[in-house]
Structure 1
Amino acid sequence: MHQSLRRTLVVALPFALACAAVLTTYAALRDRLPDPLATHFPASGRANGFSSATSFVWVATGLLAVQGAVFAALVHRSSRSIGPPRLLVAVAYGESGLLGYLFPATLFANADVSDAADVRLPMWQLAVALVCALLAAAAGWLLAGADAPPAAGPAAEPHRLPLGKGEVASWTRTVTSRVLLGVGLALACAGAVLAFTVSPGSGLPMAVMGVIAVLLSGCRVTVDRRGLTVSPPVVRWPRLRVPLGRIEEATSRQVSAYDDFGGWGYRIRTGRSGLVLRSGDALCLRLTTGKEFVVTVDDARTAAALLNTLIDRAVSGAGRPVDAS
């Protein structure tokens, strides 16, 4: 079976099993559950939020089904150009393990209680859920199999983009990390579930981290007369700019996020740094300091050619451009 299809089936399996666990637990305990059901628990463990058993089961299975579909779609679309999907499989298993324990545990906590206000869900249950999540993530990592990183190619020969006298040009592309997007969505959903089932204080930090990860999972890369600018595609901050005056030369090459930089995001290595949102085509700048700055983006060859032309034009017009940052 093709590795991509196998991983898609593998990542959907734990969410299906978690849905089955919720439905089986509900079927076994239905006659022993109060109405309404205790579904929200603060740090004290004493219930302070309630809903009908039917709505709780619908929400639980719906959330698991949606997350399973999202992770399966992300893994299915994964390829060497967007980075290894093995981490996505591990995160998916961890998420399903966490929710696959918490939802049935909530139903068991309500069993044989006449008044839902008396239901308790102690904090050690959350600790057990986190252990289940870690064990499930480890199983997903092993079942996914090793990633085959893309072969890192040599840097292309520097070339120029022909521009007539007086002509101006700019180049821009957006790039998204499906790994960071998937992790961010998983954290946001898990935080929302914890805030709903346990307490706002336990889930809010995780949800905020997830939202931040989603917002920073993509960027817009722009090349123009000012140099290179990298910024989020929706908001204008944080923004990173490398002026023409700091660039000696621009090239493009294939990079592996994990093998070359040890992961995704803003990375720093000896003699080089960069914004690495996925594996694949990358714009590589040799700076005046002798260091290298890398940003992964499609059509990096055109961006490099335009940068070299702009540098040549600035040097021939008025000497090396001044750092205007």
Structure 2
Amino acid sequence: MGLRARFLSTAAAWFALVAATLIVAPLMLRERMPDPVAMHWGPSGAPDRSMSFTASLLFEVGMWVLIGGGACVAALVNATTLRRRASRMALGALLGGTGLFFLGLQAVTLAANLDAPDWRQAGHLGWTALLAVAGLVLGGWLGGLAARPGPDDQPERAAATSRRFPLRPGQRAVWVSSVRSGLLAAIGGSVLAVGTGLAVVALVGGDGMLWTPAVITLLAGLVAVTFSSVRVQVTEEGVVLFYGPLRLPRKRIPIAKVERAWSEELFPSNVGGWGIRGLPGAVTVMLRGGECLVIGYVSGGRLAVSIDDAENGAALLNTLVARASTGPGAR
């Protein structure tokens, strides 16, 4: 069985398994569920919206069919999509992440409505709401890893000759560039403000049910602000990525792990959207479309960062890699 057939058969089996679970689980608990069922919870954790049992079932299954089925169809009709490892991993992450997300969401919803005489008396949502988020992250990671094995057909532009930067023997050089997404920073700041407001109300008003949405909102805002900017530094020791206004966290790539670097035009449509996309070994930091610094690892993976003056950064990095491979203690 070829790579494409294996991917499609595995994706179809996973799609069918999730769809069957989303249908069978609610039907098995039908007699213990109110009708309508609670489907939305407010900031206090109490249910505030309902939907008929049949409509809720069709909604959950329909969303999975739209997303999971769409990913399967995309892989079926476009054979070239599966030839690139990054594309396979993106589809695998989408199927795995959304599949476990919907299963987790359904589990939380069923547990809250179970044995409730009326939807208004459904259980409050606390930290269990994070089950769906955990499923999204874990499923995306596992799905990407499962789709990783196999060949990786790189586009011609990525195979261009790696340029070098002229340096005299013993001459030292450093390259630094940065990029910032004003939109993501604004969104993150707004979310942080909302989370702070909820925390203040919970603290002053004594409403303990507000702490859960406050913490979740604060964490989401902090993540958005942190990854709204990136600064890249190339030195003889390797590459360092500094995230956020505080330049934390940091990602270090030793020079010994770099095989070569190049500049490549990439856009959100090429990598699956904005932000940090992909999985370990095939990551793209996409804060603005256009010129990107792409670093190829000795292990075969790659890291792409949307950054200004990427061509000169790649040229200097190639020079430093060549110097490290021929100097004392070369790999």
TM-score (norm 2): 0.48
TM-score (norm 1): 0.49
Larger radius of gyration: 1
Question: Relative contact order: is structure 1 or structure 2 higher (C-alpha 8 Å, sep ≥ 6)?
Answer: 1
